[in-house]
Amino acid sequence: MAQFTDPEPRISRIAFRALHEDIQELTLFFEAESASARFQERIEIRNVNKKPIVWIMTNVPHQDFLRSNECTGLQFSWDTYRISVTRLKLKNGYEVDPFNALTCHLTHTWFLNSTWKWKWKRFWNLDAIQWAKTRLFEYWHFGFGMPAIRIFGPNGFEVTTVQRLLISATRPIAWVMSRNWVITFQFWIAIWSGLYVLNDESELQWRWAKSVNNSEGFHKRSPER
pLDDT at 27: 93
Report field, pTM of the whole predicted structure over 0.95: no
Q: Is the pLDDT of residue 88 over 60?
A: yes
Q: Tell me the H-state helices in 64-222.
A: 109-112, 126-138, 161-177, 180-192
% of the chain residues with pLDDT over 70 = 78
Terminal C-alpha separation, the chain? 11
Q: What is the pLDDT of residues 51-74, one digit of tens each?
A: 999 998 888 888 777 666 666 566
pLDDT at 200: 74
- Asked if residue 214 lies in contact with residue 197, where contact means CB atoms within 8 angstroms, the answer is yes
CA-to-CA dists, residue 123 to 63, 162, 219, angstroms: 14, 47, 7
In 3D, which of 216, 221, 183 has the Cα closest to residue 201? 221
pLDDT for res 215 = 42
Segment among 96-100, 143-147, 191-195 with least mean pLDDT: 143-147
- CA 115 from chain centre, in angstroms, equals 17
- The H or E element spanning position 71 is none
Q: Which residues lie closer than 8 Å to 210 by C-beta, 6 or more apart?
A: none
Contact of 41 with 59, CB cutoff 8 Å: yes
